[in-house]
Amino acid sequence: MSQRKILPHKIYAVVNQKGGAGKSTTAGHLAYWLNQQCAALFVDADGQQSGSPWMQDLGINIAQMHDPEQLFEELPVLARRYDAVVVDGPGNAGEITKSILGRCDIAIVPNRPSEFDLRSSGTIVQFVRHVRELRGGMPEAVLFLNAAKGKRSVLLREAQEALSDCPLKLSKIVINDLTCITDAPGQRKTVFQMRSEQALSAAAAYNNLFKEVLQVLHDKKIS
């Protein structure tokens, strides 16, 4: 997939109603990746605020918002000030998530390939479908399998089969369960800044995933 130019003033939301899916880790890596190419802002809408200190140490601008009305009002304003706004959503399917989906251009949904996680993913998928009906097809959405135990595992294959009829776009990119990813926030780094073989593999996977996200936005623009 060729590199796509970043469309300016877009809002990228990383959402899932379940905690532990990998939202903050994904959002942090996406914000860093975008910030290498344009002016990006990280919006921490997760009550745990785990992403904020990580992003601050990486020199990325942050904003903390946990009020649904404030998010709905402020996100478009922030998108006009920055080339890219990355929103780290909360680990629940409440009003904050609805507000984020009501304003974002694309929703990125990390999902672990376990039976429990797959069953719970129906809630966020339904949220996206409902918002799309109200917003004329927006936001775009990409669901990907995160923290997989190897590309050839039975669990991963079963998860891909279970999601084959998902109304959201299922990415072919799989992010594996790697120590370098889980350790990144604590080290105040991203895998893009690490040099181990494992980190280089993780960086390549994230790079391909984020390029796919850009491709979806470009395809929407020309459709």
Cα–Cα dist 189/147, whole Å: 18
Residue 219 has pLDDT above 50, yes or no: yes
Residue 201 has pLDDT above 90, yes or no: yes
Contact call for residues 25 and 42 (beta carbons, < 8 A) = no
Residue 1 has pLDDT above 50, yes or no: no
* CATH fit for domain 10-222, picks 3.40.50.300, 3.60.15.10, 3.40.50.970, 3.40.50.20: 3.40.50.300
> Any idea which of 41-45, 111-115, 170-174, 202-206 has the lowest mean pLDDT?
111-115
Per-residue pLDDT tens for 64-93?
Answer: 999 999 999 999 999 999 999 999 999 988
Residue 133 has pLDDT above 80, yes or no: yes
Per-residue pLDDT tens for 92-111?
Answer: 889 999 999 999 999 999 99
Share of the chain above pLDDT 70, in %: 97
Contact call for residues 188 and 208 (beta carbons, < 8 A) = no
Amino acid (1-letter code) at residue 199:
A
| Region 208-221 average pLDDT | 94
pLDDT recorded at residue 207: 98
pLDDT recorded at residue 221: 75
Angle, CA of 179, 183 and 187, to the nearest 5°: 145
Average pLDDT score, the chain: 94
Per-residue pLDDT tens for 143-180?
Answer: 999 999 977 678 888 888 989 889 999 999 999 999 99
| Region 129-147 average pLDDT | 97
| Region 120-143 average pLDDT | 95
Q: How would DSSP label each residue in 6-42?
A: PPSSEEEEE--SSTTSSHHHHHHHHHHHHHTTS-EEE
Residue 223 has pLDDT above 70, yes or no: no
Q: Which residue has the higher pLDDT, 114 or 59?
A: 59
Residue 5 has pLDDT above 90, yes or no: no
Amino acid (1-letter code) at residue 173:
I
Cα–Cα dist 190/187, whole Å: 8
Instruction: Report which secondary-structure segment, H or E, holds 184.
Output: helix 179-187
Share of the chain above pLDDT 90, in %: 80
pLDDT recorded at residue 3: 58
pLDDT recorded at residue 150: 76
Residue 2 has pLDDT above 60, yes or no: no
